[in-house]
């Protein structure tokens, strides 16, 4: 079994669920921090675990270019390479190719593009994107799609949607033929590399002698390069039957009819989960919500729903209340690096001089290690001094804010209550929950 999804509780359109993946059991709705190059910028893996991150993202485009899929595969996939024992999702790279439109050439077969690193030419097809994602070994991988730009006329949006549908079928065909080649299965190791190169961190590999349900040796004796790694009660070890799960992506631009057709064609191909793609590409926020809401009407109620690349704190609450189960966005980490912090009292631009003498915590209602220890004055000083620690602490707080917000959403659904931000500050929280 690659993936199991069950809905535990509903409240209106919102639903609290449980997603079983090969490496972790995930409580949904869930926010997924973005770790584009096998790293959530500025935050080590143990800190992500402490913050409660259940699943993180990696990007196939960037990892394919550096360090290369083969390097990652030999280390037991991303789990072994980055020493992460919980779940991972990889994007197919389609959006990154789209964002580099000036450097790409699109055909029915796939996309030829130039590396943003050195200008070298490369080619992605549905098949090669699946091959790369299987080698990276994430729990959930994405079909190769084309992201429609905004604005796009009707003929362009239709052509893009139909190409995505054809590529989805090709993605699934290749995946079904090769899904047992995941790097956490010991049989996938190449004979050409040395024994030392073949060593896969214990928590990332699959041995018949290890029992998925063993909570003693399996979780308390995990090593990487001889260094002991503490037990993680959230993670599990994949068994022999475990494979990745391939999600389909619904496209169609901003056209309701095309979105409906894309959903129907993607469902007809058949996937264990469905993503809403092609948003946050420059369209107004009101239009984003409109497309998300209309697309959800056509997606199966018993499958996980993933909204790609969205959004602000209030948006993730809004979309969770609409029935989205999974979301990701670079905003909490990117904003942190620019000194923009999210709090229960509104947004804080810590670079502003008015915080230079402020002895109070960043957010008096936040329990993260940053708010419990450091003053706004100190955080402002670090940022003004261009200290790396500023980016680290800012990122920890923003991720904590996002993850805590989603935890509150799950709690509210369980209580049969709707969780909303306070309207006054725009980023306030209902502190009674």
User: Measuring CA to CA, which residue among 295, 391, 312 is closest to residue 346?
Assistant: 312
**Catalytic residue from among 91, 139, 232, 325:** 91
**Cα distance between residue 42 and residue 76, in whole Å:** 23
**Cα distance between residue 222 and residue 366, in whole Å:** 33
Residues in a beta bridge with 124? 111
139 is catalytic: no
Question: Do 161 and 114 meet the contact criterion of CB atoms below 8 Å apart?
Answer: no
255 is catalytic: no
**Catalytic residue from among 139, 232, 255, 328:** 328
Question: Do 327 and 32 meet the contact criterion of CB atoms below 8 Å apart?
Answer: yes
Catalytic residues: 91, 328
């Amino acid at each position: 079994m690659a993936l199991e999804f069950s809905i535990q509780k509903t409240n209106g359109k919102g639903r609290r669920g449980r997603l079983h993946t090969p490496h972790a059991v995930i409580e949904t709705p869930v926010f997924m921090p973005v770790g584009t190059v096998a790293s959530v910028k500025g935050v080590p893996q143990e800190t992500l675990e402490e913050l409660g991150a259940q699943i993180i993202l990696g990007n196939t485009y960037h990892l394919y270019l550096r360090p290369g899929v083969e390097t990652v595969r030999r280390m037991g996939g991303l789990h072994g390479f980055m020493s992460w024992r919980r779940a991972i999702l990889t994007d197919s790279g389609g959006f990154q190719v789209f964002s580099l439109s000036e450097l790409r050439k699109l055909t029915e077969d796939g996309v030829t593009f130039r590396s943003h690193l050195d200008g070298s030419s490369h080619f992605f097809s549905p098949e090669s994107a699946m091959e790369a994602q299987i080698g990276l070994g994430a729990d959930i991988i994405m079909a190769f799609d084309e992201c429609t730009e905004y604005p796009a006329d009707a003929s362009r949006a239709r052509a893009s949607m139909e190409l995505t549908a054809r590529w989805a079928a090709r993605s699934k065909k290749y995946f079904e033929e090769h899904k047992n080649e995941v790097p956490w299965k010991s049989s996938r190791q190449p004979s050409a590399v040395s024994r030392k190169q073949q060593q896969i961190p214990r928590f990332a590999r699959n041995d018949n002698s290890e029992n998925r349900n063993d909570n003693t040796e399996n979780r308390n004796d995990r090593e990487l390069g001889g260094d002991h790694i503490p037990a993680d009660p959230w993670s599990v070890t994949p068994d022999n039957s475990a494979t990745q799960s391939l999600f389909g992506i619904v496209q169609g631009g901003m056209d309701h009819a095309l979105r409906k057709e894309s959903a129907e064609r993607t469902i007809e191909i058949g996937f264990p989960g469905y993503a809403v793609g092609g948003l946050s590409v420059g369209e107004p926020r009101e239009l984003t919500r409109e497309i998300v809401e209309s697309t959800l009407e056509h997606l199966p109620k018993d499958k996980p729903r993933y909204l790609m690349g969205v959004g602000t704190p209030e948006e993730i609450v809004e979309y969770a209340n609409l029935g989205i189960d999974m979301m990701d966005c670079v905003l909490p980490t990117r904003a942190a690096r620019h000194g923009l912090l999210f709090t229960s009292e509104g947004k804080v631009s810590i670079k502003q001089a008015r915080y230079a003498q402020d002895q109070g915590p960043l957010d008096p209602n936040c329990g993260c290690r940053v708010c419990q220890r450091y003053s706004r004055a100190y955080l402002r000083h670090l940022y003004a001094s261009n200290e790396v620690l500023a980016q680290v602490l800012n990122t920890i707080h923003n991720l904590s804010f996002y993850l805590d917000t989603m935890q509150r959403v799950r709690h509210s659904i369980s209580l049969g209550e709707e969780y909303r931000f306070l309207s006054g500050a725009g980023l306030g929280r209902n502190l009674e929950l």
